[in-house]
Homo-oligomer: A and B are copies of this chain.
Amino acid sequence: MQDAVARYVRDGDVVVIEGFTHLISFAAGHEIIRQHRRDLTLCRLTPDLIYDQMIAAGCAKKLVFSWAGNPGVGSLHAFRRAVEGQTLEIEEYSHFGMVARFSAGAARLPFWTLRDYAGTDLPRANPRIKSVTCPYTGEELATVPALNPDVTIVHAQRADAQGNTQIWGLLGVQKEAAFASQRVIVVVEELVDERVVRSDPNRTLIPATIVSAVVVEPWGAHPSYAQGYYDRDNEFYIGWDTISRESAVLSDYLDEFVYGVRDRAEYMQKQPRLAERLKAGEQRCAGVNYGF
A residues near B, CB below 8 A?
108-115, 128, 130-137, 139, 141, 143, 145, 157, 168-169, 171, 196, 199-200, 202-203, 225, 227-232, 280-292
Contacts and interface: CB of A to CB of B under 8 A. Distances in A.
6 smallest CB-CB distances across A and B, nearest first, come from A228-B289, A200-B285, A283-B291, A281-B291, A285-B287, A130-B135
B290 A227 contact: yes
Given A136-B130, A143-B135, A288 B168 contact: yes
Contact of A168 (B111, B196, B290): B290
A93 to B, nearest CB: 14
A29 to B, nearest CB: 22
Given A231-B292, A292-B225, A284 B282 contact: no
A218 to B, nearest CB: 14
B285 A284 contact: no
Contact of A202 (B110, B136, B169, B225): B169
A219 to B, nearest CB: 14
A113 to B, nearest CB: 6
Given A110-B137, A168-B290, A285-B290, 9 more contacts: A109-B114, A110-B134, A110-B136, A128-B136, A169-B202, A199-B286, A203-B288, A228-B290, A228-B292
A136 B111 contact: yes
A283 B290 CA distance: 5
A71 to B, nearest CB: 16
Given A130-B136, A131-B135, A202-B203, A228 B288 contact: yes
19 contacts: A108-B115, A110-B134, A110-B141, A111-B136, A130-B135, A131-B135, A136-B145, A168-B202, A168-B288, A227-B289, A227-B290, A280-B289, A280-B292, A282-B289, A283-B291, A284-B288, A284-B289, A285-B290, A286-B287
A291 to B, nearest CB: 4
A270 B237 CA distance: 64
A165 B9 CA distance: 41
A281 to B, nearest CB: 4
A145 B137 CA distance: 9
Nearest to A130: B135
A202 B227 CA distance: 12
Contacts of A131: 135
